[in-house]
Amino acid sequence: MEQLDLVSGSGNLDLPGSENWYIPDLAVVPADLAAKTEGALLPDQTLLIVEVSSPSDAETDRVVKRRRYGQYGAPLYLLVDRQNRSCTLYSEPTRLGYAEVNGPHPFGTPVHLPAPFDLDLDTARLGGAAPR
């Protein structure tokens, strides 16, 4: 597995040629990139973007960000949908969004993150779901 680093805080994702930019709930980037990057990253520089929905922005996370992150090449987008109590992993970005959808999986169901992670994400504690 590649060496990974987690960037948290007010990291921005720029969408060149667009009026939009996003501050994801979580972005995982290669450690060497995290150490030398100042300012906004591009979605295709990430390894994984995670958004956790809230009632005020759930549709933006489900529709708009899903499409935009795919269009701008983010390899993996994990939507933690608190309103629907599910997780969905989007992969294989295209100019129209994502070609592959894995889910939605109810909270409590493991979600497999492919390479470079190659691990099952335990979702049992999300949203107060009882562990299995």
pLDDT class of 125 with cuts at 50, 70, 90: confident
pTM: 0.85
- Which two three-digit tokens encode residue 83? 């309103």
Contacts of 64 (CB under 8 A, 6+ apart): none
Q: How far is CA 42 from the centre of its chain?
A: 13
Residue spans of the domains in the chain: they are: 4-127
**Which alpha helices (DSSP H) does the chain contain, by range?**
31-36, 58-59, 66-71
CATH superfamily entry for domain 4-127: tt1808, chain A (3.90.1570.10)
**Residue 119, pLDDT above cutoff 80:** yes
Q: Where are the alpha helices (DSSP H) in 55-117?
A: 58-59, 66-71
Q: What is the pLDDT of residue 39?
A: 67
